[in-house]
């Protein structure tokens, strides 16, 4: 059987799918700098949207604290942050910046004044002051605006650098909106309004695989945040409703897009009443509850049963209510469909000397080699930030090539980062059009029994349209003398 859960969501705005979006963020398996931040900081805004139980509040704080602790593994001696834990190359810092500042806004100001954050902030101020536009690289304008925005929130505003960027020829609309956010945090709403005067609040759909990891949803959220800060309620409300629709319609969003969209909706809700709150009576499984709250979203877990269940809701207030049931889960074992979208993914198993081996019936103690080949079959020049996930059956053991000095025996293609765990290996890399990457895992069939081997998955972390998956299957590890002998 698969793993399933269900929830009921009642809202005063078009449904956000808050339950499923929170679940997606917290359950996301990868953990670069941006993803670590994006998983954590929406937790700080949930209370603006929905009433949290004490357990829910404790969970949110625990998730944030875990992220703070993990961030230490990304920081370099000069205060900058790498994209992966232990990395040596600094990122622009742009994807990390919001959380340090918004912690301050949510009653956790002490977190912004740790030595770790102060070192990072000093470095960002130096970069802001010495920044110069690079012809043909307009995204650097946005990174600078983003940096200035966060410094302004953190009471470290750089007005000189802001004015220099504002007068730079050719800055695009999203740079203007991000810079407008910075000016509002310095109290200069007049300058912010002038900066985005007559600028469109419509955003084209796109997905950036690297750089600032931008998307249409991310940019729309920044526009909403600027409009809220400029107290343009009607315009902000229109953009927020579009964001709510994005969140609620089930379309795939990256971690950053989801986090920004949730933040924008929460900021709007905290500044503007969305109706008169919620006032209704709900009956689930024969049990009736009266609900009254000033929040915009109410949710509860639903029992999972075979067959149908009935939910009845009686609106006792004046606010229009939106009702949604949300079911989430993983497919049953063996039912994961194979996929090839812009990538070709193949996994072969051999003995250590290269002879094919049947993994459905391995003799206990057999050493084998899994060779995974990923080929770029799409039209883009380059795929950035691909993630290859390989999960092992519980009866197999992974031999760590690094620790055993075996890397030269089975050389891998270059990769950006590799996370080796007891039961899986996560490999992160980039791939040019038509190129193939090859990775090896040395394994041992260690424990007798029947196990499930999940399919391998490779995907672009910032564009779900680029992905490949192999089917899973059952495998057996047979004790010597109990069945057919596999080659060693």
What predicted TM-score, i.e. pTM, was given to this entire model? 0.84
**Is 313 a domain residue?**
no
Same domain, 243 and 351: no
Query: Based on the domain organization, do 245 and 97 belong to the same domain?
Result: yes
- Give the end of a domain, one of 271, 302, 326: 271
C-alpha 266/C-alpha 243 separation (Å) is 11
Its domain, for residue 431, covers: 339-478
Residues in Cβ contact with 118 at an 8 Å cutoff, skipping those fewer than 6 apart: none
Q: Within a domain: residue 58?
A: yes
- Asked whether residue 52 falls in the same domain as residue 170, the answer is yes
pLDDT tens for the chain, 488 residues: list them: 455 677 888 888 777 777 778 878 888 899 998 888 888 877 777 777 777 777 777 888 888 888 878 888 988 888 788 899 988 888 765 455 444 444 444 444 445 556 777 888 888 899 999 999 888 777 899 999 999 998 898 888 999 999 999 999 989 999 999 999 999 999 999 999 999 999 999 999 999 998 889 999 999 999 999 999 999 999 999 999 999 889 988 889 999 999 999 989 988 888 876 566 789 999 987 889 999 988 778 888 887 665 567 889 999 988 888 888 877 666 667 667 899 999 999 999 999 999 999 999 999 999 999 999 999 999 999 999 999 999 999 999 998 766 666 666 678 999 999 999 999 999 999 999 999 999 999 999 999 999 999 999 999 999 999 999 999 999 999 998 776 544 44
Which residue, among 325, 290, 297, has the nearest Cα to 310 in the 3D structure? 325
What is the CATH number for 400? 2.60.40.690
Same domain? For 229 and 358 the reply is no
Residue 280, in any domain of the structure:
no
Say whether both 218 and 346 belong to one domain.
no
* Pairing assessment for the beta strands 297-302 and 339-341 based on DSSP bridges: unpaired
Specify the number of domains making up the chain: 2
421: CB partners within 8 A, 6+ apart: none
| Local structure of 311: helix, strand or coil | strand
Residue 348 Rama label (left phi>0; alpha psi -120 to 50; beta): beta
Q: In the listed set 219, 236, 271, which residue is the last one of a domain according to the structure?
A: 271
Q: Domain for residue 457, yes or no?
A: yes
Residues 140 and 54 in one domain: yes
Q: Which of 244, 271, 298 is the last residue of a domain?
A: 271
Same domain as 346, residue 239: no
262 with 376, same domain? no
Residues 104 and 230 in one domain: yes
Asked if residue 15 belongs to a domain, the reply is no
Task: Say which CATH number the domain at 106 has.
Answer: 1.50.10.20
Residues 109 and 238 in one domain: yes
Q: Is residue 109, in this structure, part of any structural domain at all? A: yes
Q: What's phi and psi for 363, nearest 5 deg?
A: -75, 135
Identify whether residues 245 and 350 lie together within a single domain.
Answer: no
Q: Establish if 62 belongs to a structural domain.
A: yes
Is residue 471 within 8 Å of residue 455, measured between CB atoms?
yes
* 310 inside domain: no
Contact 438, 389 (CB under 8 A): no
């Amino acid at each position: 059987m698969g793993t399933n859960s269900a929830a009921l969501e009642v809202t005063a705005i078009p449904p956000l799918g808050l339950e499923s979006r929170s679940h997606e963020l917290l359950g996301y398996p990868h953990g670069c700098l941006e993803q670590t931040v994006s998983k954590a900081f929406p937790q700080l805004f949930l209370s603006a949207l929905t009433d949290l139980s004490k357990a829910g509040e404790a969970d949110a704080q625990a998730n944030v604290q875990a992220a703070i602790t993990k961030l230490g593994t990304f920081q370099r001696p000069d205060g900058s942050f790498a994209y992966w834990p232990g990395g040596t190359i600094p990122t622009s810092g742009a994807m990390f910046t919001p959380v340090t500042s918004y912690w301050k806004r949510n009653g956790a100001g002490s977190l912004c004044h740790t030595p770790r954050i102060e070192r990072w902030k000093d470095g960002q101020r130096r970069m802001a002051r010495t920044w110069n536009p690079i012809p043909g690289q307009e995204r650097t304008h946005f990174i600078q605006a983003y940096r200035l925005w966060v410094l302004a929130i953190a009471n470290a505003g750089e007005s000189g650098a802001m004015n220099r960027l504002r007068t730079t020829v050719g800055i695009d609309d999203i740079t203007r909106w991000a810079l407008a956010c910075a000016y509002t945090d310095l109290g200069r709403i007049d300058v912010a309004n002038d900066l985005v005067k007559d600028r469109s609040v419509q955003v084209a759909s796109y997905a950036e695989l690297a750089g600032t990891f931008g998307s249409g949803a991310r940019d729309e959220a920044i526009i909403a945040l600027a409009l809220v800060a400029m107290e343009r309620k009607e315009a902000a409300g229109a953009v927020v409703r579009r964001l709510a629709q994005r969140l609620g319609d089930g379309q795939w969003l990256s971690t950053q897009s989801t986090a920004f969209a949730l933040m924008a909706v929460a900021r709007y809700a905290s500044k503007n009443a969305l109706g008169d709150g919620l006032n209704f009576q709900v009956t689930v499984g024969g049990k009736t509850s009266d609900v009254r709250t000033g929040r915009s979203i109410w949710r509860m877990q639903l029992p999972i049963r075979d067959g149908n269940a009935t939910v009845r809701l009686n609106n006792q207030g004046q606010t229009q209510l939106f009702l949604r049931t949300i079911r989430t889960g993983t497919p049953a074992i063996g039912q994961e469909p194979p996929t090839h979208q812009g990538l070709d993914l193949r996994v072969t198993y051999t003995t250590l000397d290269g002879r094919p081996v049947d993994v459905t019936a391995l003799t206990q103690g057999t050493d084998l080699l899994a060779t995974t080949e990923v080929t770029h079959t799409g039209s883009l020049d380059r795929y950035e930030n691909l993630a290859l996930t390989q999960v092992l059956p519980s009866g197999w053991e992974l031999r760590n090539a690094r620790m055993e000095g075996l890397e030269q025996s089975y050389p891998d293609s270059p990769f950006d980062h590799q996370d080796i765990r007891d039961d899986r290996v996560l490999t992160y890399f980039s791939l040019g059009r038509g190129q193939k990457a090859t990775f090896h895992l040395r394994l041992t069939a260690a424990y007798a029994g029947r196990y499930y081997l999940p399919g391998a998955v490779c995907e672009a972390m910032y564009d779900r349209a680029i992905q490949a998956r192999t089917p899973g299957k059952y495998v057996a590890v047979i004790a010597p003398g109990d069945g057919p002998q596999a080659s060693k």
